[in-house]
Amino acid sequence: MPHLAPTLTQTIAADGLERFRQNLGPFVMAAETTRMAMLFTDALVGGHPIIFANDAFLKLTGYARDDVLGQPFKFLMARGDNPLALAQVEAAFNGESGGHFEMRDRRKDGSQFWAAVFIHPVPDTAGKIHDHFVSFVDLTDHKREAEHLRFLLDELNHRTQNTLATVQAIAVQTLRGVADQEVVETFEGRILALAKAHRLLGHHNWDAVTLRDVIERILEPFGVRDSASARFSIEGPMVRLAPKAALTLAMVFHELASNAAKHGALSRACGRIAVTWRTEAAPGGDRMMLRWQETGGPPVAPPVHKGFGSRLIEGGLAQDLNGDVHVAYERAGLVCRIGMPLLPVAVG
């Protein structure tokens, strides 16, 4: 940049700086040498011209001090011509949004970076605001790390799905011709249910998913989205589930639905399943009470011996989720009641 004679703005900036040095004395030294990038801007002139830039700021942006002194604040913005971005900056100078915001800045070499910016007014003893203090935290590494984590999580989800696909392939090919077709299909169904639950969690970054998400995803092969048949009714308030609860409940619903397809309501054209739940406050935290009720199926009777499904439903809920479960073979159809504690703290 060619060196020009001082412009009017630069002269005003120099005056501002002089006043600033007189007012703040030794703190100027502290500001100059700290590793946090910071500026002071003049509040008495429009455009918030820069009257002070510390070494850390120059290092962060690649500018020389003369490049920035006297320049309006928007000079630093990658989108200084964008009215929305400008309005956000102006709002921060006015103390709205607590003076915090994230902005994309432009370095001298034209490259851009994200910074968390904090703007605070500096009043004199009479309360008049002469200057603004502006600090910058470079978010480039932070954003890059977040991206990298996102990538790793994607890879993990991908590998989980591929591994489960391989397990499915091994199982089906090992058992084919050796075990009953029904055994193969049951095993395959369970692997696929587990994969679905993992996929759902993957979509939500292994953060909490909702009970309705889990139910709809698992019951999809059983026609839950088939509005024409309307075999299912699913009703209850929004409930968020921790990953472990989501996985266990996914397997439980899969077993209940598989059983209904074989022995219960889903084995008859007119059979229906109602899944309803409510939450209630309890001394140890909120609990959820869920009811799976089948109607319209053939008469049901308790199984002669307990298999994987019953064990998973009764044991899994009790052991994994500290819940209780009761399965009743009522005349109208099977009823499964589940009570379990919910996430201690609401997420999101």
Partner 1 sequence: MTSVGPERRVLVVEDELLVAALLQDMLTDLGCAVVGPAARVAEALALIDAEAIDAAVLDVNLNQELSYPIADALVARGIPFLFSTGYGADRIPEGYRGHTILQKPYHGSDLGRALTGLFPAWPLPILRVSPVRGAVAW
| Interacting residues with partner 1 (CB under 8 A) | 154, 157-162, 164-170, 172-173, 176, 180, 182-183, 185-186, 188-189, 191-192, 195, 199, 202-203, 221-222, 255, 258-259, 261-263, 266, 303, 305-310
Minimum separation from the CB atom of position 147 to partner 1 (A): 14
Q: Is 274 helix (H, G, I), strand (E, B) or coil?
A: strand
Phi first, then psi: give them for residue 111, nearest 5 degrees: -70, 160
Q: Which is nearer to partner 1, 191 or 250 (CB)?
A: 191
Written as six digits, the tokens of 170 are: 């091994």
Minimum separation from the CB atom of position 65 to partner 1 (A): 45
Q: Which is nearer to partner 1, 122 or 171 (CB)?
A: 171
* Nearest-5° Cα angle at 160, 159 to 165: 95
Q: Which is nearer to partner 1, 27 or 151 (CB)?
A: 151
Minimum separation from the CB atom of position 95 to partner 1 (A): 39
C-alpha to C-alpha distance for 233 and 251, rounded to whole angstroms: 19
C-alpha to C-alpha distance for 340 and 322, rounded to whole angstroms: 6
Minimum separation from the CB atom of position 236 to partner 1 (A): 24
Strand-pair category, 287-295 with 209-210: unpaired
C-alpha to C-alpha distance for 190 and 256, rounded to whole angstroms: 12
Minimum separation from the CB atom of position 315 to partner 1 (A): 14
Minimum separation from the CB atom of position 255 to partner 1 (A): 6
For residue 257, what are the CA distances in angstroms to 55, 109, 138? 66, 62, 52
Minimum separation from the CB atom of position 203 to partner 1 (A): 7
Q: Which is nearer to partner 1, 159 or 326 (CB)?
A: 159
C-alpha to C-alpha distance for 161 and 129, rounded to whole angstroms: 59
Alpha carbon 219 to chain centroid distance? 25
C-alpha to C-alpha distance for 54 and 68, rounded to whole angstroms: 11
Instruction: Tokens 């249910």: give the residue.
Output: 193
C-alpha to C-alpha distance for 256 and 258, rounded to whole angstroms: 6
Q: Is 100 helix (H, G, I), strand (E, B) or coil?
A: strand
Write the Ramachandran bin of 285: left for phi over 0, alpha for psi from -120 to 50, otherwise beta: left
Residue 285 · residue 341 · CB < 8 Å: yes
C-alpha to C-alpha distance for 259 and 193, rounded to whole angstroms: 14
Q: Which is nearer to partner 1, 19 or 263 (CB)?
A: 263
Helix 243-262 and helix 211-219: axis angle, to 10°?
40
Q: Which is nearer to partner 1, 186 or 248 (CB)?
A: 186
Q: Which is nearer to partner 1, 90 or 147 (CB)?
A: 147
C-alpha to C-alpha distance for 168 and 188, rounded to whole angstroms: 6
Minimum separation from the CB atom of position 263 to partner 1 (A): 7
Minimum separation from the CB atom of position 109 to partner 1 (A): 31
